[in-house]
Amino acid sequence: MSNEDPDRVEAAAEELYGVPPDDFVPVRDELVAAAREAGDREAAKAIGRLRRPTQAAWLANLLARERAQQLDGLLSLASDLTDAQRTLDGAALRTLSAQRGKLVAAMAREARALAGRDGHRVAESTERDLRGILDAALADPGIADQVRSGRLHRTVSYSGFGPDALAGAEPRPAPRRPAPADEPAPADGDEAGQDEVARDEQAERRARELADRLRSLDDTVAAEPEAREREQVDRDEHDDAARRLTEAKDRVADLVAELEQARAAQRDATEAERSAAATLRDSSSRLRTAAAEVERARARVEDLSG
């Protein structure tokens, strides 16, 4: 019977697919060793089977973890884009495909910027591979789920989606115009013609709605760099303020230490002054006694002389 701890394996996977590919194997080895040390050999085996992601897959995971809302917004268009391939005419489909391509490219650039923020350089070829992954996710719900999970480990692509799919797309027939009121419409096929017009009108509405959603997502993605720059400026200002606060705290600590030393010196000086004052009082008393003795001795001498 297996004693594998699913929580341990889940936590390990969550950690591993959040680290850069170069760090994956060392971190995995540490987690495997920790599981073995805990006596969970099954979890150690399961963790050891986790595959290191490719560079492009890691970038996709980075988007899923740090730009989940934007990524989900892009992937949510998958069904509408698939429907558009079947129902729209070539011109509308090319427009939507171009908008989709722009959004995919923007998301890929965002992933590259996130990696660069952490000091990781991303090659152009890797960014192209990431765009292929995003295109594949838009075409295949299974791949979309993998991308959303943030634990993708392979580079995937889908050749049947995008501009190449235009050749296989089903053109939309031109809508039939209703017959003028003074011309009798043919009895047979009239209902079918109205249904076809209704379908065409519905497809046009869907196309407009999809285009609006694409533009909205495009605006959201386009606003991301500005927000990131603003966040970086705010982060720099915060770091500068934190540095000044640390310096001020250090200065206060130094001053407090100096104050304690001064207070200790004051206490020592006060004690010394009190001790010296007591000694002075004793000396003064002895001096007065000695002076009195001198006066008495002088008086006795004077008495003898007289």
The model's pLDDT over 233-281, given as tens digits with 9 standing for 90+, comes to 566 666 667 777 777 877 888 888 888 888 888 988 888 888 888 888 8
Q: Using pLDDT thresholds of 50, 70 and 90, give the confidence band for residue 283.
A: confident
Q: How far apart are CA 98 and CA 110, in angstroms?
A: 18
Q: How far apart are CA 45 and CA 123, in angstroms?
A: 33
- Mean predicted confidence (pLDDT) in 205-215: 60
- Mean predicted confidence (pLDDT) in 172-189: 44
What are the pLDDT digits (tens) for 126-147? Answer: 999 999 999 999 988 999 999 9
Q: Using pLDDT thresholds of 50, 70 and 90, give the confidence band for residue 306.
A: low
Q: At what angle do helices 21-37 and 6-16 cross, to 10 degrees?
A: 160
Range with lowest mean pLDDT among 70-84, 101-115, 226-240: 226-240
Q: Where are the domains of the chain?
A: 6-48, 55-174+197-222
- Mean predicted confidence (pLDDT) in 14-31: 95
Q: How far apart are CA 35 and CA 41, in angstroms?
A: 7
List, as one string, the DSSP characters of the chain: -----HHHHHHHHHHHTTS-HHHHHHHHHHHHHHHHHTT-HHHHHHHHTPPPPPHHHHHHHHHHHHSHHHHHHHHTTHHHHHHHHHHS-HHHHHHHHHHHHHHHHHHHHHHHHHHHHTT----HHHHHHHHHHHHHHHH-HHHHHHHHHT---S----TTSSGGGGGGS-PPPPPPPPPPTTSPPPSTTHHHHHHHHHHHHHHHHHHHHHHHHHHHHHHHHHHHHHHHHHHHHHHHHHHHHHHHHHHHHHHHHHHHHHHHHHHHHHHHHHHHHHHHHHHHHHHHHHHHHHHHHHHHHHHHHHHHH-
Tokens 């995008």 -> residue = 162
Most confident residue range from 47-56, 75-84, 167-176, 180-189: 47-56
Q: How far is CA 88 from CA 174, 210, 296, in A?
A: 10, 11, 135
- Sign of the Cα torsion 152, 153, 159, 163 reads positive
Q: What is the pLDDT of residue 210?
A: 60
Inform me whether the pLDDT recorded for 183 exceeds 60.
no
